[in-house]
Amino acid sequence: MRKKLLYIFFIFTLSIGKAQNPQFSQFYSLPLFLNPAFTGQTYEHRAAADIRDQWPGVATTYKTVAASYDYNIVSANSGIGFMALQDNSGTPSLSTTLAVLSYAYHFKISKSAEIRSGVQIGYGYKSIDMSKLVLNDQLYYNTSTSADPYLSNMNNHIGYLDLNAGALLNSATYWLGFSAQHLNKPNTSFSQTEGNNQPIDISVHGGYKFILNKKASRLTEYFSPTFNYKHEINFDQLDIGAYYYKAPLNFGLWYRGLPLKHYAPGYLNADAFSFLLGVDISSDTRVGFSYDLTISRLSVTRSLGAFELTIVYEHAKKNKKTKKVLISCPKF
């Protein structure tokens, strides 16, 4: 009974607590989610899709699907884009859907470096299936419905406005970006009680590309160490790793966590090792598969890790590709 009550408490907390951002291992394949300043950082057209299944061994698994499209308006030094995302988490069918419009502007500070800035405006929609919640009074009185007055005043869906912004220092070999999500701190609580606003989520990311070989303007081999630091209220996370690309294959290895920081005695800030294999199917299309090996106390045998599959399509007219476009970041 104690285990059941703990499980119920966890699900109930999940359903009314502050929303968290979805987690992606291949965040560079979905750049509009990482930083709106990446909008239009492509030759002309770019479309991307990502599907992630996190902890499939746990009953309350997390599944996230996202897709984006952006376009580089060369004549206006601008990029425009759109992103849609749906995240499903937990037994009570807690679902979050987000649709975002994105814009970025860039200007050169030297022949091989530029500064980019971007903004996003989005609409979020959260819903929960209350019929799949089982609370302690239902177990105690053996009833199908709960008598908790708090639940009777709680909505099963909510919509909200979401604002994001970001900036990026970018060159042909290095990049350093900063982004902030939920700048307007929307209230995403089903009960709409005060103090349940979505906190601002900050990301600092960057890296360097060591070019090992290239043919004309096309890179055929490089090594790229990168990082992505995220912070929200009192919680933070560091993804640090590297990519090795040798056409047409891309390999990646990441560590997620802050090993020197403890949130509680005996609980290391260590989440997973991420392994990536990417393939260039053609000059326009590439796919990537990654697996997260859980190293936290949840353990890989219980969680079965996380699986993620991405596909990215970039296309431009031949005369468009002759224009100078500074693209430094890894493909995944």
Give me the tens of pLDDT residue by residue for the chain, a chain 332 residues long: 444 433 433 333 333 334 467 889 999 999 999 999 999 999 899 999 999 998 888 777 789 999 999 999 999 999 999 999 999 886 667 889 999 999 999 999 998 899 999 999 999 999 887 767 666 666 666 666 665 656 656 678 899 999 999 999 999 899 999 999 999 999 888 776 766 788 999 999 999 999 999 887 788 999 999 999 999 887 889 999 999 999 999 999 999 988 776 666 666 678 899 999 999 999 899 999 999 998 887 777 788 889 999 999 999 887 655 456 777 778 88
Tell me the C-alpha distance between 292 and 256, whole Å.
9
Its CATH class, for the domain covering 2-315, is mainly beta
Q: What is the CA radius of gyration of the chain?
A: 21
Phi, psi of 38 (to 5 degrees): -75, -5
The ranges assigned to domains in the chain are 2-315
Phi, psi of 92 (to 5 degrees): -75, 20
- State residue 227's pLDDT score: 96
DSSP 197-218: BPPPEEEEEEEE-EEEEEETTE
Contacts (Cβ under 8 Å, ≥6 apart) of 328: 170, 171, 172, 173, 174, 175, 207, 209
- State residue 18's pLDDT score: 45
**Pairing state of beta strands 94-110 and 201-208?**
unpaired
Tell me the C-alpha distance between 74 and 43, whole Å.
9
- State residue 3's pLDDT score: 42
Nearest in space to 89 (alpha carbons), one of 122, 123, 124, 65: 65
Tokens of 152: 């009777």
* Cβ(48)–Cβ(29) below 8 Å: yes
Tell me the C-alpha distance between 328 and 24, whole Å.
20
- State residue 147's pLDDT score: 57
Tell me the C-alpha distance between 311 and 11, whole Å.
33
* Cβ(308)–Cβ(254) below 8 Å: no
Phi, psi of 57 (to 5 degrees): -80, -10
